[in-house]
Every structure is written in C-alpha cells, then in structure tokens.
Structure 1
C-alpha cells in the first residue's frame, strides 16, 4: 500500500467535507423551499424519535407538533380541541400531517372547524376507531366522519394494517374525498413497520404544496 502524505490526506478530507457540505446545503434548500408549516398530528402514544413524523420535523424548518395532555388515554373532544389550539397558534399556510388516530382527529376537526389557512392534509394509516375490535383506549374516539374534508387530502393506507381493514381505509378515502394511495404489506406505516426516514412522505407533501399553490395562485 502506497503511503499517503499527511498534507495530501488533509486536503482529501477537506475536499470530501466541502463536497458533503454542498450536498447537504442543496438538500436543505430543497426541503426548506416549502413555504408552508407542517402541523404534525401523531396518534396514540405519540410518535417516537424513529417515526417518520419525527424525521419530517428534522427535515423541514417549519413544523409544529400537536402535543396532547394524555397520549395513552385519548379523549375525542380534548384531542380535537388541542389540534384547534395548535392551528390558532400557528401563522401562515398549513398542511396537516396525521398518523393513525391523528388522521382520524384531523377528519373530526374538519367536521367542526374551518380555517382557510389549511391548504392540505396527509392522512396516513387512519385507525378504525369504529371497528368492533378497536383497541379499548381508542374505541371511544368515534364516530369517524363520513362527509368530505374541506381541503385537499391524500390518504395513505396499507393492505395489512392491523388497525384498519383495507376496505375501511378505502371507504374513509371515498367519504372524505381524498386521493388514496395503498402500500403493500406496510403494516401500520410506523417505525415498527420500518417507516423511519420515508421519502414518499416528503414527495407527497411537496406535491400537495405545489398543487395547492397552483390552485390558489
């Protein structure tokens, strides 16, 4: 093996660092090009550090997470009210990003409230709180609204979600007037199912922003 002179090694490290820094800045500029605040709406138990919702918070500069008083014993009215409080405390255009029970809360919020600053919603793996076998801790969080949500939404579901049968997820999307994307064998689309850094979430959010900007421009 040919020895490398220390100065040459230092120069190589500097070049590699500058190259990596340039890529990082390019990615951050792209991510921060979204001029909309993401309102993160987690489900039961909150989203862990490994969860894709948490990764979104790290990727985008303008995000706010709805913080519930009791993550393990959700109460329908309290969770909807906290989402409303968070929206009122946040300025500018907003996209709501829900997972599991959080997606249901967004649909319930939309039934009772209207805010023109809400431009779109990404509703991932909505949990079927009305199912006969729903978890006891979320079974009192129904009913699930059956009327259209008043803004552009995308529902992302899985064909083997343990908390919502595929037919039910399809019905939610139909009733809410949402675009439906169904993933194969994706479980509950959470960290346990391998959804930490999830590029599709970013792609969908950036598409939602482009589409809503075009509509309102």
Structure 2
C-alpha cells in the first residue's frame, strides 16, 4: 500500500537548512503541506490545510510535524483518524503560547483564551512519538510530556536540544530519521509499539505550566 509522509512545519516555516527539508529528500513519498501562511499561526487555517493534505494523499499518511505544526497536525488527525498511519511530533509548541488568532503576547486581549481547549486530549489508535528537549524556549518538558500522555504517545527526551531546529543545530538529523523509521516499524504493534530508543511514558505527570521563555 502506498503511503505519504506529510511534512508540517511550524511558525515561520522550515527553511532549506531545516531537518524537515532534509527529511523531504530522505523519505520516499514525502511532501510538504501547502496552503499555509507560515507567519500567521492561526490554528483553524493550519489544521484545515493539513486535513486537505491528508485528503489529497493517495493512501495512509504519516504526519511529521514540528513546533506549532504539531498542534495543527493533531487537530487535523483527530478528524481523519482512518487516514493517518502515525505521527512524529517534534518539539510541540505549548498551546498556552497561542490563541485562536495567533501568538499570545503582552498586547493580547485577556478575553481571548489559549489554544489549550482546542487540542485533542484523547489517544490516537496509531503509533505516535513526541520528541522533546529539556531547554526548549517554546515548551517546558513537563508540558510536552503531559500532551504525549494525552495522545497515548511515547516520549523521547533528547536532552538539551533547544527547539530542535536550525538554531539548535538540527539540519540533517539522522537520529530523527532513525526515530521515524522505528515509529513506522512499530505500526503493527499497538497500542504503543516497540520503538528501539530511549522512549518512556510519563504517567502521573502534573498538568503543564505555561512556558516563559
């Protein structure tokens, strides 16, 4: 059966030196989601673009998302469960950092809620892996672990790796590609699969707190 790997970048997109762009050249059947304004992190628009990408794919879809793109990917996947083969969610941005209109900052109206209420909290019935770091300025590790638990995902803590992007030295990323291949190999071994890395579940973790970096 033909599979498609849909690359979902985050806020500001993924440039030519980013690991997601490298993935596109390494993974057969990989394509980048289209129809997104990378400078406007508006979740409903992004999620719809991901849904369109899933609908346009000829077969089951693997979602490879980064940062804000992870939020769009999980929201889209929640309504396309029968079409999604699995999810690799790298450095998922804290939904508390955004509202339905975009980025939350000091000028944001306090009447606008965060995106936390928009994000699915149920597990996916396919393999999923959240890759996070201990010093990500966009999400605390405790928040990433909380969402991984909600989604039934394995969590891979790769240490002090920043936002796992070009700025933190993640251009070509062989370790990430190995994790993705292991995730694909685990597809027939649910609920969590057998992923030969240092993944762990985070049962019993406290609720996340908002990142301040």
Task: Say yes or no: TM over 0.5.
Answer: yes
Q: State the distance in 1 between where 2:178 and 2:146 align.
A: 24
1:145-173 CA-to-partner distances (Å, cap 9, x unmatched) read: 32223321000000000000111111011
Q: State the distance in 2 between where 1:148 and 1:47 align.
A: 27
**Counterpart position of 2:195:** none
The answer on whether the counterparts of 1:36 and 1:209 sit within 8 Å (CA) in structure 2 is: no
- The alignment of Structure 1 onto Structure 2 pairs a total of residues equal to 179
1:81–1:45 CA distance, 2 compared to 1 (3 A): same
TM, length-normalised to structure 2: 0.77
The answer on whether the counterparts of 1:129 and 1:138 sit within 8 Å (CA) in structure 2 is: no
Structure 1 runs (4+) deviating above 4 angstroms are none
- Structure 2 gaps, min length 5: 105-112, 191-213
Q: Which moved more, 1:148-157 or 1:137-146?
A: 137-146
1:141–1:69 CA distance, 2 compared to 1 (3 A): farther
**Counterpart position of 2:129:** 154
1:141–1:199 CA distance, 2 compared to 1 (3 A): farther
CA drift at 1:137 = 3.6
Partner-residue secondary structure (3-state), 1:96: strand
**Counterpart position of 2:91:** 125
TM, length-normalised to structure 1: 0.75
After superposition, where does 1:81-96 map in structure 2 within 5 Å? Answer: 81-96=48-63
The answer on whether the counterparts of 2:62 and 2:85 sit within 8 Å (CA) in structure 1 is: yes
**Counterpart position of 1:142:** 115
CA drift at 1:43 = 0.6
